[in-house]
Structure 1
């Protein structure tokens, strides 16, 4: 049994004002490997703008500790299975008026670079210990710490690294309502029975009704089973993961929980991603000044060492080099695509070493057409979005995706596979949609090289043969509203539903 905290007085909840603790393993710009980091910062910031008291907690990775504004030690706590004292640091988000707590446990989190993998790209061997510690601290914070004088109405956990926190709260007195968001079901936090035993968890958790999953321990299942509401990050992906093709063995459970599970499309932060105000690009532009975008094209060509040419059709890709993202499809079509000397490709990516090397080899073989930067660089990401003509996103599955939404805003029509959030955000350039002015990008139905190549060729033809039609397509994309306000309001309703369910369960239990 995890220890509870002795009761003390907390401020009363103001009418219609929710206290939300957002728990994540990463948050931009403190530490980032993917879209989760953007959401973990932008959603609580949007909730605060709507009048709610949202706060963020992440591990104290070295970069996060350096980036935190107004940082100060707040208190020290102990958790089961850990001899060392853990510090809670308090500060402010670098870009928002958002309170942030860092869980400072140096033996677990004081590691530079990727928060999940070692310098060779392999998962840290003690990841279950690291993130179980994080979950235990989350459970303590969710009950309220005297040093903070604040207790959330909702603990909002994200992905497997936080998935055991809802399970740890299950048998504790007066826990908050729990919401769990799945950003990518492919990453589940699976570990063997020996790990479960070593972590000294309550034995009752090891069952089909608990965190046991095919004789392994599943962090993500803990979040699904023990939360009042579960969601994922687009309506289409919510439908997809309830099928065997995309469910990774959890589709039956997600069907079983019924209306407790839903999809809410991510938003984006237009304070960060807007070509009209973006300080990271050479030339700002907007719907009324779309022609100025060409200056960014010449600039990004120069930055990647390619010939500066307005006539080139420049494709961009930003992302992880994993099978999910369909990078093998891009590699398959590039040799044929690059036979056209007016095609250029800019890639900002990292991941599987073999794929990294294949891209570097391609850039060496085509130095006037292919530019590759291995790693992640926020400045280059903005410049690719602003400077490219079209953006490649051929993901085999995509829970939501953010880059296609950034691309829409930057007038860089995306080329996407019809799946998950890509299907929810990009309207295909069919003759009918081109005619009525609603098209925003190019969509293909099957994750195969031939289908991707056909979509790229369609985009190239349109770009070269109908410049005014291309401008209308790009400007329509720029005019779409995927701001966080609409998504944040849907999360507020999700929190209200979770609180109502939670209170109903408590009333039934005490009856």
Structure 2
């Protein structure tokens, strides 16, 4: 059995701020049937160590970036987890990256420590004798792990780095080079130097054996300036080592057949979906909506296109639609959507915050889910929509483009359409997509066919896990 050490800053079920955690948490179980044993190394944020069963200390260092630290091995939900216990770095109030809206000032050291511990464990530093053949780093927080191995001259551990979102690049001032245990010779344009600073993401991109990102379209987009955000040249130079592998969803959690939050239904019998719509409208105070009930479950940011939605809402509601939104983010966008709710009582419902149960009820009861993102590396929201027969209306970018088959005359005739796509990503195109939504929803035969096609789409981890297993196998063969 092959062995992989996965290194990340978050992981379900321990801690989550976004889709990264879902991927890191899902991969070990998805890979196990394919002959790969994956352990996950994660910082020991407050309260996490107590959640591990069968705890055992397997590594320690007296001074890890300012204080003593050790790694504890244990299990949770059948997955072997490794927690880096370093109270001086991780035992603090606030979020895992910030407090009161400001990044922790020592974030470069906090996640360099995670990468350093990963590299040491990969080299065989654990007392339990477990040694991986592949180290898999996720995003900038683990970007220095392949770099530390590379700069140490370690060649028998193969390395992969996955870009979940290139917008976050792990920037630190050049003055911290030595403090981060990085050699001076690495601070070059071909190394980890990024416009006069250190980029830990770039460090991983130039030293890892292979690079993956979370959809084939995003892999192509990253080599363009409007998406690569300064790293497009680095990625273009490594195009032969870059692969896009779609994420999947946990179908044991997202399943309309047996979701405890909703009346059950399936692609064979959609009766329960109508009941869920009625219940959702009652819960949110929505009245009689003759057209499609669109849902939004999202961070409220410009990247997610919520500003475009704010300008398109009135026309959509005037055409007979309804809107239910759950999310939090930019205060101006929260206010804009709350203003739409005030203008359209009984037709628009806005809930600021996040509620996992309500999210499930919205996917079960909604007719369509709106994802007008300006860029979307992969996206899980549209996959939840497909799973629940809640038709995705998406921008044709990144993983949205790779997972949704837009409704065209040809795709409708072939009973293949699973959603509505639009391009370019602007208010005019989104307004057109919403008009199309109203029209298709009114054609009951076509709409029913789209729901069934959507629910037949394979959004599981089966295919992605196989692709990762093939990638690991190619590295160690």
C-alpha distance in 1 between matches for 2:47 and 2:370:
30
Q: Which residue of 1 aligns with 2:334?
A: 356
SS in 1 for 2:176: helix
Query: Is 2:81 the partner of 1:77?
Result: no
Q: 2:208 aligns with which of 219, 227, 250?
A: 227
Q: Shift of residue 246 of structure 1? A: 1.3
- In the comparison of the two structures, how many residue pairs are matched? 476
Superposition deviation, residue 358 in structure 1: 2.8
2-structure distance, mates of 1:379, 1:290: 21
Cα distance change of structure 1 residues 64 and 365 upon mapping to structure 2, 3 Å threshold: farther
Q: Which residue matches 1:125?
A: 105
Aligned to 2:145: 165
Residues 199-219 of structure 1, C-alpha deviations (whole Å, 9 max, x = no match)? 342212211221101111101
Q: Does 1:292 align with 2:269?
A: no
What corresponds to 1:243 in structure 2?
Answer: 224
1:7 maps to: none
Residue of structure 1 in register with 2:314 after alignment: 335
**Aligned: 1:34 with 2:12:** no
Instruction: String of CA shifts for 1:158-213, please: whole Å, max 9, x gaps.
Output: 11110011111112445511000111111111122123344342212211221101
Give 4+ residue runs of structure 1 displaced > 6 Å after superposition.
none
Q: What SS does structure 1 have at the residue aligned with 2:103?
A: coil
Alpha-carbon distance in structure 1 between the residues aligned to 2:255 and 2:183: 48
1:52 positional shift: 1.7
Residue in 2 aligned with 1:325?
A: 304
Q: Which moved more, 1:405-414 or 1:292-301?
A: 292-301
SS at match of 1:323: coil
Once the two structures are superposed, residues 137-163 of structure 1 have per-residue CA deviations (whole angstroms, 9 ceiling, x without a partner) of 111222233433201111111111100
Does residue 65 of structure 2 align to residue 88 of structure 1? no
2:423 corresponds to 1:445: yes
Q: Which moved more, 1:220-229 or 1:268-277?
A: 268-277
Instruction: Determine helix, strand or coil for the equivalent of 2:270.
Output: helix
SS in 2 for 1:372: strand
2:209 and 2:74 map into 1 onto residues whose CA distance is: 29
For 1:115, the equivalent position in structure 2 comes to 96
Q: 1:317 to 1:82 in 2, by over 3 A?
A: same
CA offsets 1:199-244 (integer angstroms, 9 cap, x no match): 3422122112211011111011111111111111111111111122
Could you tell me which residue of structure 2 aligns to residue 178 of structure 1?
A: 159
Contact 2:140–2:200 (8 Å) recurs in 1: yes
In structure 1, the residue matched to 2:465 is 488
User: Aligned ranges for residues 97-108 of structure 1 at < 5 Å?
Assistant: 97-108=78-89
Q: Secondary structure at the match of 1:55?
A: strand
Partner of 2:379: 401
The change in CA–CA distance for 1:392 and 1:226 in structure 2 (over 3 A counts) is same
Matches within 5 A, 1:12-91: 17-62=1-46, 64-65=48-49, 68-70=51-53, 72-78=55-61, 81-91=64-74
Q: Secondary structure in 2 aligned to 1:32?
A: coil
Q: Tell me: CA distance 1:81–1:109, structure 2 relative to 1, closer, same or farther (3 Å).
A: closer
Alpha-carbon distance change, 463 to 80 in structure 1, aligned in 2, over 3 angstroms: same
Q: State which drifts further: 155-164 or 237-246.
A: 237-246
Q: Note closer, same or farther for the CA distance 1:69–1:384 as it changes in structure 2 (3 Å cut).
A: farther
Alignment of structure 1 residues 245-394 onto 2, 5 Å: 245-279=226-260, 281-307=261-287, 309=288, 311=290, 313-340=292-319, 342-394=320-372
Structure 2: distance between partners of 1:370 and 1:28: 32
TM-score, length-normalised on structure 2? Answer: 0.94
Q: How many Å apart are 1:395 and its aligned residue? A: 0.9
Q: Is the 8 A contact 1:22 1:55 kept in 2?
A: yes
Q: Judge conservation of contact 1:30–1:63 (CA < 8 Å) in 2.
A: no
Q: 1:410 aligns with which of 388, 408, 418?
A: 388
Q: Is the 8 A contact 1:178 1:228 kept in 2?
A: yes
Corresponding residue of 1:156: 136
Q: CA RMSD in A?
A: 2.0
| TM-score, with length taken from structure 1 | 0.88
How far apart in 2 are the matches of 1:318 and 1:385?
A: 9
Moved more, 309-318 or 160-169: 309-318
- CA contact under 8 A between 1:274 and 1:409: conserved in structure 2? yes
Partners of 2:396 and 2:29 lie apart in 1 by 30
User: 1:422 maps to which residue?
Assistant: 400
Superposed displacement of residue 323, structure 1? 2.0
Distance in 2 of aligned mates of 1:477 and 1:56:
33
Q: Which residue does 1:13 correspond to in 2?
A: none
> In structure 2, do the counterparts of structure 1 residues 372 and 145 end up closer, same or farther at CA, with 3 Å as the change threshold?
farther
Q: What is the CA distance between 1:336 and its match in structure 2?
A: 2.8
**Residue pair 2:262, 2:360 contacting (<8 A) in 1 also:** no
Residue 291 (structure 1) shift: 2.0
Checking the alignment, whether the CA contact within 8 Å between 2:59 and 2:126 is kept in structure 1 is: no
**Structure 1, unpaired ranges of 5+:** 1-16, 501-511
Shift of 1:81: 4.9
